[in-house]
Amino acid sequence: MYRGKNITKIRELLDKKVITKEEVFEKATSLAHYFQDEYNSFVTILDKVKIKDSDSLLSGIPYALKDNFSTRGILTTASSNILKDYVPVYDATVYKKLKKAGATLVGKTVLDELAMGGTGTTAHTGVVRNPWDKERMIGGSSAGSAACVALGIVPFAIGSDTGDSVRKPAGFGGIVGFKPTYGRISRYGLFAFASSLDHVAICSRNVRDAALVTDILKGQDPLDMVTLKSENVKYVDTLNDDIKGKKLFYIKEVCGKDFYKDTNDLVLKKVITTFHDMLDKCRDKGFIIEEVSIDMDLLTALYPAYMCISCAEATSNNANLTGIQFGPRGVGNTIEEIIFNARTEGFSELIKRRFVLGSYILQKENQEKLYLNACRVRRLIVDKITELFEEYDGMIAPCSGGVAPTFDSRSEKLSARYLILENHMVMGNFGGFPSITIPYTMIDKLPVGLNITGRVKDDALILNIAQKIEELTGLKDIYAKVGEIDV
Amino acid sequence: MIDKEKLEEYASKLMFKMKDEEYKTLQEEFEIILKQMELIGKIPNIEKVEPMTFPFKNTDVNLREDEILDYLTVGEVLENTKHQIDDQVKVPKVVDEDV
């Protein structure tokens, strides 16, 4: 009755008084508890909620929030030992807005520690499992947010996206992941990872719900100076606009039909074939889709440039984690000893490695060759894509070259496939472009996503295009029907 | 390969310690990332490109007035530390007695 319903359907049940807001919340939390041991979506599941009266469409709709958004009085750990006891004293703007709309927070979701990672395996409370196959990753860093939506626990969840941290797990989880234009949604109260790349993003089970939630969250915020002025448009009202003649491109070196023809990887072959079948369906619907080519050297530089920029920014952003003002304090006789011990105990190995990398990149003698060159690659890529957006309305590609990886899989980090196909969505962060992932096919009973990215501030058009393609997939509103619970 | 001493120096600047085996993984990781970064160096005329540090030119930015606002009370600030004395966060002595 409740599980797996989207926002519109829960709204109907509430408006027709078939179910009360309290009952909806109770059902959502019972599902959260039921799946917790097996899938580990949550750091904290809330037992009580004060439901605010509101005439918003989100009134009484349960949701989950990634555990790197500040929530007053509610434990917020960023899935790191260094913040394992941290209870914030202020609310993130996103949380404030959802509270005002009357949406009910079910829980705070697990992430890769401090949002730095793409696997969902590095949280201080353990790995997050993929609802479609629990021997596989859901991906990260917004692992718990994607998993709880894919399990049908809540109709939407909030995450953050610095490289592809919502759009990648959305792809592996068979759900929608939408990262609006940089600055569209305030980041006040989101723990900063790499400020020039960080975005608030949304997990939902259909494009309309993603638009609806974005409508509530968007707008300028004096507490986040990069936020954009509010538009007098509701994205949800523009979803039905005609898309006939809209032009999309795909990059040959990312997903060209013949580009992987010599591969022995059967799943990759299926991804490419099914993707091109979907493009044909889109053409039948009225889209114009063309292949473009971009310099391979530039594309292979995407991921290392991302690593340099993000690690460098993360190193300084996380310098406030000392255990002095908040978080567990280390032992020692001097302030240096205390901070040393708090940071040694509090950060996992992976985080330390990323920080050392960031610090190395920022050293005076390395800045030119590493940090500034990475920023130069960023400009070349963004300029190239922006130039293409003068002719085209959007870029389309599969989210990944495969289905969700198993926990023991290893990627060959120097291969062209790893550097390009597995990491191309970072272009959306480099340029702040609106970017959305939707499921488009199932391979071996596992969902595979495609991604559409568009011009800066063209969020409405990207949602509009995504909804039209969603109609062709037959995968709208899917979730993993696992477990024996009927609520 | 970057030597371990250099990496220890960076970790020390960042105020944490790492284990020997962790340095080994870090050295391997550095090998990969530096090889990947070499690819960037090969892009023709890369040095002539202006580095990009922000996604796009945002014309919406309005600087707010520099007003004094009360965000947190002393009580709220103290909620997150177990170490307090009177209404202050207690920290160890930072000035050496001999100084």
Residue A167 pLDDT: 98
Question: At A230, is the pLDDT very low, low, confident or very high (cuts 50, 70, 90)?
Answer: confident
Instruction: Compute CA A107 distance to the chain's CA centroid, rounded to the nearest angstrom.
Output: 17
Q: Which residues of B touch A323 (CB under 8 A)?
A: none
- Nearest chain A Cα to B22, which residue? A349
ipTM (interface pTM):
0.90
- Please report the DSSP string for A187-252 in residue order: -TTBPPS-TTT-EEEEEESSHHHHHHHHHHHBS-BTTBTTPPPPPS--GGGGTTS--TT-EEEEEH
Residue A277 pLDDT: 98
Q: What is the residue whose two structure tokens read 């030992």?
A: A81
Reported as a single tens digit per residue, the pLDDT across A375-403 is: 999 999 999 999 999 999 999 999 999 99
- Cα–Cα distance for residue pair A294/A288, rounded to 1 Å: 19
Residue A482's CB is within 10 A of a number of other CB atoms, namely 16
Tell whether the model's pLDDT for residue A414 goes beyond 70: no
Residue A208 pLDDT: 98
Among B18, B48, B52, B61, pick the best mutation site for testing chain A contact (most A Cβ within 10 A): B52
Of all residues in chain A, what percent carry a pLDDT higher than 70?
A: 100
B33 found inside a domain: yes
- Nearest chain B Cα to A353, which residue? B26
By residue range, what is the domain housing residue B16? 4-47
> Any chain A CB within 8 A of the CB of B95?
no
Using a 10 angstrom Cβ sphere, with 0-12 exposed, 13-18 middle and 19 or more buried, the burial of residue A4 is middle
Tell whether the model's pLDDT for residue B15 goes beyond 60: yes
Q: Nearest C-alpha of chain B: how many angstroms from A256?
A: 22
Reported as a single tens digit per residue, the pLDDT across A291-337 is: 999 999 899 999 999 999 999 999 999 999 998 877 788 888 888 89
Reported as a single tens digit per residue, the pLDDT across A170-220 is: 999 999 999 999 999 999 999 999 999 999 999 999 999 999 999 999 999
Cβ of B30 within 8 Å of Cβ of A360? The answer is yes
Q: Which residues of A touch B79 (CB under 8 A)?
A: 87, 89
Q: Which residues of A touch B32 (CB under 8 A)?
A: 413-414
Among B21, B25, B58, pick the best mutation site for testing chain A contact (most A Cβ within 10 A): B58
B71 found inside a domain: no
In this prediction, residues B39-63 reach a mean pLDDT of 87
Reported as a single tens digit per residue, the pLDDT across A123-174 is: 999 999 999 999 999 999 999 999 999 999 999 999 999 999 999 999 999 9
Question: At B33, is the pLDDT very low, low, confident or very high (cuts 50, 70, 90)?
Answer: confident
Q: Nearest C-alpha of chain B: how many angstroms from A224?
A: 10
> Any chain A CB within 8 A of the CB of B78?
no
Cβ of A305 within 8 Å of Cβ of B40? The answer is yes
Nearest-CB residue to A324 (from B22, B77, B91): B91
Q: Which residue has the higher pLDDT, A417 or A279?
A: A279
Active site residues of A: 66, 141, 165
B13 found inside a domain: yes
Q: Point out which residues pair with A158 in neighbouring strands.
A: A65, A202
Using a 10 angstrom Cβ sphere, with 0-12 exposed, 13-18 middle and 19 or more buried, the burial of residue A258 is exposed
Residue A285 pLDDT: 95
Cβ of B29 within 8 Å of Cβ of A456? The answer is no
Q: Point out which residues pair with A451 in neighbouring strands.
A: A397, A437
Residue type, B49: V
Least confident of A40-44, A55-59, A99-103, A332-336: A332-336
- Pairing status of strand A129-130 against strand A104-109: unpaired
Query: Quick one: DSSP state of residue A114?
Result: G
Tell whether the model's pLDDT for residue A454 goes beyond 70: yes
Going from N- to C-terminal start, the domains of chain A cover: 1-487
Residue A480's CB is within 10 A of a number of other CB atoms, namely 23
Of all residues in chain A, what percent carry a pLDDT higher than 90?
A: 87
Reported as a single tens digit per residue, the pLDDT across A418-432 is: 789 999 999 999 999
Question: At A83, is the pLDDT very low, low, confident or very high (cuts 50, 70, 90)?
Answer: very high
Q: Which letter, b or e, does each residue of B49-77 get, where b requires 16 or more Cβ atoms within 10 Å of its Cβ?
A: bebbeebbebeeeeeeeeeeeeeeeeeeb
Cβ of A325 within 8 Å of Cβ of B81? The answer is yes
Q: Nearest C-alpha of chain A: how many angstroms from B40?
A: 6
- Cα–Cα distance for residue pair A26/A31, rounded to 1 Å: 9
Q: How many CB pairs under 8 A join A and B?
A: 170
Residue B99 pLDDT: 54
Question: At A413, is the pLDDT very low, low, confident or very high (cuts 50, 70, 90)?
Answer: low
Nearest-CB residue to B52 (from A183, A327, A378): A378
B31 found inside a domain: yes
Q: Nearest C-alpha of chain A: how many angstroms from B86?
A: 16
Residue A194 makes CB contacts below 8 A (sequence gap 6+) with: A162, A309, A310, A312, A313, A314, A317
Average pLDDT, chain A: 95
Tell whether the model's pLDDT for residue A247 goes beyond 60: yes
Residue B97 pLDDT: 64
Cβ of A304 within 8 Å of Cβ of B53? The answer is no
What's the domain count of chain B?
Answer: 1
Reported as a single tens digit per residue, the pLDDT across A107-116 is: 999 999 999 9
Residue B98 pLDDT: 63
Top-level CATH class of A1-487?
A: alpha beta
Question: At A416, is the pLDDT very low, low, confident or very high (cuts 50, 70, 90)?
Answer: confident
Question: Please, which contacts does A269-276 make with residues 24 or more away whose CB atoms are closer than 8 Å?
Answer: A270/A443, A271/A398, A271/A400, A271/A401, A271/A402, A271/A443, A271/A448, A272/A398, A272/A401, A274/A440, A274/A441, A274/A443, A274/A448, A275/A397, A275/A398, A275/A440, A275/A441, A275/A450
In this prediction, residues B65-84 reach a mean pLDDT of 84
Nearest-CB residue to A359 (from B13, B33, B80): B13
* Residue A47, token pair as written in the block: 């037992």
Instruction: Identify the three-state secondary structure at position A443.
Output: strand
